[in-house]
């Protein structure tokens, strides 16, 4: 019951912040606006917050178009594939409009060329008045071509700008489709692709590579005791500790639930164990505190398994060995790092006697 009461207080606090933003910006209190500002208040979607802050710093408010864009990009229930198809259709439509204008310009150029050809035939036989008419005709034809070219240039510039914006939207959606929204780490889909590529590159270049598999200790108990919002806070805290202890070429991902995975290219086993222990210590050093009440919730710990690439490995076998090390760390006391050369990996739990 206490956990439910805490969640009530937290969610009401987020709701009050959302309503405060709506009041401050004098926006309609529609469900869509409230959803946007509630999500902003929670901080669960950093990309959304960055987009909102960028627009606010530029114009001081969010227009209906801005809200539509943010909602469509970050909160829309449409699947990523549907949104990409939608943007693709817009690109095709834009190209078709440009091609139609180019065809029209080509037609106008042909007409002008015919006019010029007709003029050239009349010049040898023209008197003074005739020449004057020919010159006026040439001036008129030149102006028409200038107007056509000017309109075409304006349309091409506008289309280039529109297509560039659509390309940016596609890149945002591509990034979103490969990112875990809660932690801002890579998601499982990206991890699976990256691990296969990292293994192939390591074998091709004859380089070492290691993999860390991480799990938060007693996370379910913590989640059940303090509520899912605090559980989300724990996940973000672990993700932050991971980010602060990996290099640019390393790939950190939320593997699933409370599990994280880190790919370490060009990293031998002992160096990987050092990285893992830095992450473990970073997590353990942070004490959780409930923002609404100031209550200290204690510290969390993680267990980590470390494996290094072998000649016959594929993604599944490497993950399997790192997982075995992780569960050995769990089995032998938690809050520790176990690699595949540690003696604890060979230990087996005592068989449990059957209960009559």
Q: What is the CATH number of the domain that holds 106?
A: 1.10.287
| Same domain for 66 and 115 | no
The answer to the question of residue 42 being in a domain is yes
3-state secondary structure of 315: helix
User: What is the mean pLDDT of the segment spanning 271-289?
Assistant: 92
| Same domain for 43 and 112 | no
157-212 pLDDT, tens per residue? 676 776 667 666 666 666 667 788 888 899 888 899 999 999 999 999 999 999 99
| Same domain for 266 and 291 | yes
| Same domain for 192 and 172 | no
The answer to the question of residue 351 being in a domain is no
- State how many domains the chain has: 3
Query: Among 75, 96, 118, which residue terminates a domain?
Result: 75
- How many C-beta atoms lie closer than 10 Å to residue 34's C-beta? 17
The answer to the question of residue 237 being in a domain is yes
| Same domain for 340 and 192 | yes
% of residues, the chain, pLDDT over 90: 32
Alpha carbon distances (Å) from 298 to 220, 234, 335, 346: 15, 11, 14, 32
60-103 pLDDT, tens per residue? 888 877 787 787 777 765 445 555 555 566 666 666 666 666 65
Q: What is the pLDDT of residue 264?
A: 97
Q: Which of 320, 291, 349 lies closest to 6 in space, CA to CA?
A: 291
By annotation, the residues acting in catalysis are 258
Half-sphere exposure (Cβ direction) of 2: Cα atoms closer than 13 Å? 5
Flag whether pLDDT at 3 surpasses 70. no
Q: How many residues does the chain have?
A: 356
Q: Which of 79, 81, 253, 232 lies closest to 180 in space, CA to CA?
A: 253
| Same domain for 232 and 315 | yes
| Same domain for 170 and 84 | yes
Q: Which of 146, 25, 166, 142 lies closest to 91 in space, CA to CA?
A: 166
The answer to the question of residue 217 being in a domain is yes
| Same domain for 129 and 66 | no
Query: Among 16, 41, 75, which residue terminates a domain?
Result: 75
Alpha carbon distances (Å) from 120 to 126, 127, 142, 176: 10, 14, 15, 62
The DSSP string of 265-276 is ET--HHHHHHHH
The answer to the question of residue 6 being in a domain is yes
Alpha carbon distances (Å) from 186 to 181, 193, 319, 345: 9, 11, 17, 28
| Same domain for 304 and 212 | yes
300-328 pLDDT, tens per residue? 999 999 999 999 999 999 999 999 999 99
**Residue 91 domain boundaries:** 80-177
Query: Among 177, 205, 226, which residue terminates a domain?
Result: 177
Q: What is the pLDDT of residue 239?
A: 93
Report the distance separating Cα 72 and Cα 135, nearest Å.
Answer: 57
| Same domain for 315 and 244 | yes
From 26-35, 38-47, 182-191, 248-257, the region with the lowest mean pLDDT: 38-47
| Same domain for 234 and 205 | yes
| Same domain for 30 and 48 | yes
DSSP letter at 313?
A: -
Q: What is the dihedral of CA 12, 15, 21, 24, to 10 degrees?
A: -60
Q: What is the pLDDT of residue 221?
A: 84
Helices 46-59 and 31-42, axial angle in degrees (round to 10): 110
DSSP letter at 156?
A: H
Question: Where residue 338 falls among pLDDT bands split at 50, 70, 90?
Answer: very high
Q: What is the pLDDT of residue 295?
A: 74
The answer to the question of residue 183 being in a domain is no
Its sign, for the CA torsion 266, 269, 273, 276, is positive
């Amino acid at each position: 019951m206490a956990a439910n009461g805490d969640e009530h207080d937290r969610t009401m606090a987020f709701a009050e912040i959302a309503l405060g933003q709506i009041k401050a910006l004098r926006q309609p209190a529609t469900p869509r606006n409230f959803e946007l500002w509630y999500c902003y208040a929670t901080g669960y979607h950093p990309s959304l917050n960055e987009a909102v802050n960028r627009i606010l710093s530029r114009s001081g408010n969010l227009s209906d178009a801005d809200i539509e864009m943010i909602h469509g990009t970050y909160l829309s229930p449409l699947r990523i594939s549907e949104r990409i198809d939608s943007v693709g259709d817009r690109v095709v439509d834009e190209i078709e409009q440009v091609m139609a204008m180019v065809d029209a310009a080509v037609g106008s150029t042909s007409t002008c060329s015919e006019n010029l050809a007709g003029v050239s035939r009349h010049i040898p036989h023209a008197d003074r008045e005739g020449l004057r008419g020919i010159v006026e005709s040439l001036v008129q034809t030149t102006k028409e071509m200038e107007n056509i070219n000017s309109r075409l240039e304006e349309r091409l510039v506008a289309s280039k700008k529109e297509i560039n914006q659509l390309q940016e939207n596609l890149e945002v959606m591509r990034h979103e489709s490969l990112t875990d929204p809660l932690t801002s780490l890579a998601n499982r889909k990206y991890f699976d692709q990256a691990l296969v590529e990292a293994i192939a590159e390591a074998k091709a270049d004859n380089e070492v590579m290691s993999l860390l598999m991480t799990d938060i200790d007693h996370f379910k108990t913590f989640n059940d005791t303090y509520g899912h919002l605090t559980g989300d806070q724990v996940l973000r805290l672990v993700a932050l500790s991971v980010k602060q202890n990996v290099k640019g070429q390393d790939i950190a991902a939320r593997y699933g639930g409370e599990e994280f995975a880190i790919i370490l290219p060009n990293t031998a086993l002992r160096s990987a164990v050092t990285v893992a222990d830095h992450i473990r210590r970073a997590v353990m050093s942070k004490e959780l505190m409930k923002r609404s009440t100031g209550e200290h919730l204690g510290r969390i710990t993680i267990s980590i398994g470390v494996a290094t690439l072998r000649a016959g490995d594929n993604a599944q076998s490497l993950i399997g060995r790192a997982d075995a090390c992780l569960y050995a760390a769990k089995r032998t006391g938690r809050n520790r790092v176990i690699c595949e050369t540690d003696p604890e990996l060979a230990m087996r739990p005592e068989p449990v006697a059957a209960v009559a």
